[in-house]
């Protein structure tokens, strides 16, 4: 599609020279062994045709672990190989991937094995960004960061990212990576109107201080920041289909009241609640790109509409905080 790059806006990741699309696509859900391959292809094509060039994976995405990388690798080989240099492909390691003492967290043993496994599943000689997926309270930070540095030096990744870190640990990790002369350019953390953890743990402020990029995931709080649950729980919802990550118990009367009030505010702005929630993230100066997911192509088309309204009044922002923070 010749006009794909006119449909998307791009921003530099911190002080680096790498531009990310304001929307990236995450393969956390819907790309597992039991999902429909033709639907996967249609979703990926729709994302790329709308200028989304970054596709975000992790070794344990599936289910089962490894399935998302394997399925995306097949799509890349069969359909998108000619566009490889137009794409940013990212993956991560840090959560449990295989049995035994060497299959999770941040040891050199785990990270070196994991990058090789991921590249094999993806069918690639390198990924554009390789993330450490979570902080490790037991492995020395120096060991983890040196392993990441050596992965870049070996040519298996172009850039390094850190995911689910807090501000103080990020600062220490960044100092180490700088001393190793490694291009650490991006953080990835959960952030949305309901989840302000990175505002509290120093990550958001530290990202700005260190001039790093920030990609945010779960921008719609796994569907809570939509109108989907205002009239009950649909049978095809994530709560009904997979209650591991979102349980019906979160739909308290207080939460539903917040969702309803935010939905009314979005209507007054001429947006859906989902669009407003995405726009709210995109106007944050620290945020480089927002990760979206989809179970069908139409959801991507709905999400990118948020690019059309990236302005908030001071009163609107204040009202969102009052509603969501109590």
d(CA 127, CA 114): 12
Q: What pLDDT is recorded for position 243?
A: 57
- State yes or no: pLDDT of 326 exceeds 90: no
CATH code: domain of residue 144? 3.20.20.100
283-313 pLDDT, tens digit each: 999 999 999 999 999 999 999 999 999 999 9
Q: What pLDDT is recorded for position 231?
A: 77
Q: What pLDDT is recorded for position 248?
A: 72
Is residue 190 in some structural domain?
Answer: yes
Largest pairwise CA distance in the chain: 54
Is residue 80 in some structural domain?
Answer: yes
Which of 83-97, 142-156, 161-175, 245-259 shows the lowest mean pLDDT across its residues?
245-259
Is residue 238 in some structural domain?
Answer: no
Mean pLDDT of the chain: 95
4-28 pLDDT, tens digit each: 999 999 999 999 999 999 999 999 9
- Which whole number is the average pLDDT over 30-35? 96
217-229 pLDDT, tens digit each: 999 999 999 998 8
**Which residues partner with 184 through β-bridges?**
160
- State yes or no: pLDDT of 106 exceeds 80: yes
Q: What confidence category does residue 237 fall into, taking pLDDT thresholds of 50, 70 and 90?
A: low
Cα angle vertex 46, ends 44, 48, to 5°? Answer: 70
- Which whole number is the average pLDDT over 26-33? 97
Domain count, the chain: 1
Is residue 242 in some structural domain?
Answer: no
Q: Mention every residue, 6+ apart, whose C-beta is less than 8 A from residue 53.
A: 8, 20, 21, 86, 87, 88
Q: What pLDDT is recorded for position 56?
A: 98
Is residue 321 in some structural domain?
Answer: no
Question: Angle, nearest 10°, between helix axes 253-269 and 314-325?
Answer: 170
- State yes or no: pLDDT of 197 exceeds 80: yes
Is residue 324 in some structural domain?
Answer: no
Q: What confidence category does residue 78 fall into, taking pLDDT thresholds of 50, 70 and 90?
A: very high
132 CB neighbour count, 10 Å cutoff: 26
- State yes or no: pLDDT of 241 exceeds 70: no
Is residue 108 in some structural domain?
Answer: yes
- Which whole number is the average pLDDT over 40-45? 98
Name the E strands within 48-120: 54-56, 88-93
**Residue 127: domain span:** 4-228+273-311
- Which whole number is the average pLDDT over 234-254? 69
- State yes or no: pLDDT of 239 exceeds 90: no
326 CB burial (10 A radius; 0-12, 13-18, 19+): exposed
| Share in percent of the chain as helix, strand, coil (round to 5) | 45, 15, 40
Q: What confidence category does residue 238 fall into, taking pLDDT thresholds of 50, 70 and 90?
A: low
Q: What confidence category does residue 1 fall into, taking pLDDT thresholds of 50, 70 and 90?
A: low
**Which residues partner with 189 through β-bridges?**
216
Percent of the chain with pLDDT over 90: 91
Please identify which residue in the block is written with the tokens 């939905």.
Answer: 263
Is residue 253 in some structural domain?
Answer: no
């Amino acid at each position: 599609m010749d006009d794909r790059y006119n449909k998307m806006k791009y921003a530099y990741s911190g002080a680096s020279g790498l531009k990310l699309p304001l929307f990236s696509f995450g393969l956390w859900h819907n790309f597992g062994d039991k999902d429909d391959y033709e639907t996967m292809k249609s979703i990926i094509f729709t994302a790329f045709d709308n200028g989304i060039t970054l596709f975000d994976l992790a070794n344990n995405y599936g289910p089962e672990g490894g399935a998302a990388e394997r399925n995306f690798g097949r799509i890349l080989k069969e359909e998108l190989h000619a566009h490889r240099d137009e794409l940013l492909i990212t993956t991560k390691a840090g959560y449990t991937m295989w049995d035994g003492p060497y299959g999770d967290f941040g040891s050199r043993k785990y990270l070196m094995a994991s990058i090789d496994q991921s590249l094999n599943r993806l069918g690639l000689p390198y990924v554009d960004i390789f993330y450490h997926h979570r902080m490790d309270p037991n492995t020395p930070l120096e060991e983890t960061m040196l392993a990441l540095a050596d992965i870049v030096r070996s040519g298996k990744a172009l850039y390094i990212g850190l995911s689910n870190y807090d501000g103080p640990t990020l600062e220490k990790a960044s100092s180490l990576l700088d001393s190793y002369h490694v291009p650490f350019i991006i953080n990835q953390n959960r952030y949305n109107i309901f989840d302000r953890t990175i505002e509290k743990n120093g990550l958001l402020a530290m990202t700005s201080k260190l001039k790093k990029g920030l990609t945010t995931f779960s921008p719609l709080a796994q569907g809570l920041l939509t109108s989907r649950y205002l009239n009950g729980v649909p049978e095809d919802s994530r709560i009904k289909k997979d209650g591991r990550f979102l349980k019906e118990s979160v739909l308290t009367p207080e939460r539903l009241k917040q969702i309803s009030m935010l939905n009314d505010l979005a209507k007054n702005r001429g947006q859906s609640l989902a669009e407003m929630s995405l726009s709210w993230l995109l106007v944050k100066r620290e945020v480089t790109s927002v990760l979206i997911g989809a179970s069908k192509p139409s959801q991507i088309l709905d999400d990118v509409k948020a690019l059309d309204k990236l302005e908030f009044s001071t009163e609107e922002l204040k009202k969102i905080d009052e509603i969501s923070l109590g």
